[in-house]
Amino acid sequence: MFNKHPWIISLLLALGLSAWLASGSINGDPADSEQAADPDEQPAKESPAVIKVRVATVHSEPVERSIVLYGRTEPNRSLNLKAEVDGRVEAILKQRGATVEAGDPIIRIAANDRPHLLEHARAELAQRRLEYQGALSLKAKGFQGRTELARKKTLMKEAEAKVAALQREIDNTVVHAPFDGVLLERMVEIGDYVNVGTELARVVDLDPLVVRGDVTQADIDLLRRGQKAIVTLNNGQQHQGRIRYLSRVADEDTNTFRVEVALDNPDGQILGGLGVELQIPLETIMAVHISPALLALNKTGVIGVKWVKDNVVQFTPIDVVRSDPDGTWIRGLDENVDIITVGQAFVREGDKVEIQQGDS
């Protein structure tokens, strides 16, 4: 029958498809229908949770702003003593490391025949003086010409110069300390033969002791001669001195300027060649003392601290005044500020937060 009438099959298929589509619309989810019908009654999205942070109130205090350098202690003066006469070293009068005063004998060189030569020169000088005196007497009586008188005077002066030269050589056979200090090194031993110019010993002056440092071109204009400076040794001892020298020409290699601070060192307890910290106070300013762990960077890479005002995160760039073993002194904040101590890594400037007081 269907083979004879194919239109009946097509009609049945059409009716079945219409019935299936109608059943989907009727049996649909009522909630979906209500949401589609009334979009104003859709539930609102939940607000994000407020982040909790812990804060600590910090207070500004007066603190000295200073320049901190790393320097080295050096002798006030250092001199290598050299032989001024030829001869053999006859005696060592001071040992290495000994304290010496200006004029103390340190080394004696053999005088050899210089004393005998001096005795002969003095006798010759006495003769020349007599001859000159006789020429003066004859000149006064008109029996001596001016030329002969001048010759006798020249011979006398030559004899005086010879005596003086021999006496100086004998004096120079003993080498003396040029100033108060320490005999740091001795380059010769008894029996060594030395020539004029041979280095014999080195004497250093450790009072005052000099601390040398190098300051940048940005800070050199903040310093002046006579300014107070504090020197801290490796063992923690501190000593106060004064700036005695400021270079006016920068080093070509480092582009820094040399600074010298003089320290009183009467007993010589502070040694030369020590690495030290050199602190030069500049001014007293108001600053806050915090842990370096509380420092943060904003999105542009500026260093500062995060703090809270009216439950909103603030960020303030700061200037590090100085550091010590307990923390860092900074300026740029108000007198009293609630700094975020816990949770600062999870908030940004402008975030709303819930605060709790306490350092941890």
Q: Tens of pLDDT along 50-69?
A: 788 889 888 888 888 888 89
Q: Is the dihedral of CA 327, 328, 333, 334 positive or negative?
A: positive
Q: Which helix (H) or strand (E) holds 118?
A: helix 114-141
- Do residues 249 and 287 touch, judged by C-beta distance below 8 A? no
- Rounded to a whole number, what is the distance in angstroms from the first to the last CA of the chain? 92
Whether residue 10 is predicted with pLDDT greater than 70 in this model: the reply is: no
Tell me the pLDDT tens digit for each residue of 155-181: 999 999 999 999 999 999 999 999 999
Domain with CATH 2.40.50.100 in the chain: 81-204
Strand partners, 297: 303
* Band (26; pLDDT cuts 50, 70, 90): very low
pLDDT class for 274, splitting at 50, 70, 90? very high
DSSP, res 265: -
| Partners of residue 52 on adjacent β-strands | 354
Is 0.85 topped by the overall pTM?
A: no
Statement: residue 15 has pLDDT above 60? no
Residue-wise burial string across 182-191, b where 16 or more C-beta atoms lie within 10 A, e elsewhere: bbbebebeee
Query: Of 208-217, 266-275, 342-351, which range is least confident?
Result: 342-351
Q: How many CB atoms lie within 10 A of CB 329?
A: 20
Question: What is the CATH number assigned to the segment(s) 52-63+285-357?
Answer: 2.40.420.20
CATH topology for 81-204 is OB fold (Dihydrolipoamide Acetyltransferase, E2P) (2.40.50)
Q: Is the Cβ–Cβ distance between 295 and 304 less than 8 Å?
A: yes
Question: Between 2.40.30.170, 2.40.110.10, 3.40.50.720, 2.60.120.620, what CATH number should domain 68-76+206-283 receive?
Answer: 2.40.30.170
Residue 193 has pLDDT above 60, yes or no: yes
**For the purposes of burial, counting CB atoms within 10 Å of the CB of 74, is it exposed (0-12), middle (13-18) or buried (19 or more)?**
middle
Report d(CA 135, CA 154) in Å as an integer.
12
- Specify the higher pLDDT residue, 44 or 317: 317
User: Where does the chain hold its CATH 2.40.30.170 domain(s)?
Assistant: 68-76+206-283
On the question of pLDDT at 37 being above 50, the answer is no
Region(s) of the chain under CATH 2.40.420.20:
52-63+285-357
For the chain, what is the mean pLDDT? 86
Specify which of 9-23, 74-88, 321-335 reaches the highest per-range mean pLDDT.
74-88
The three-state DSSP-derived secondary structure of 182-244 is EEEEECCCCCCEECCCCEEEEEEECCCEEEEEEECCCCHHHCCCCCEEEEECCCCCEEEEEEE
Alpha-carbon distances, residue 156 vs 75, 125, 146, 159, 281 (angstroms) = 47, 6, 15, 5, 66
Separation CA 189–CA 72 (nearest Å): 32
Higher per-residue confidence, 218 vs 31:
218
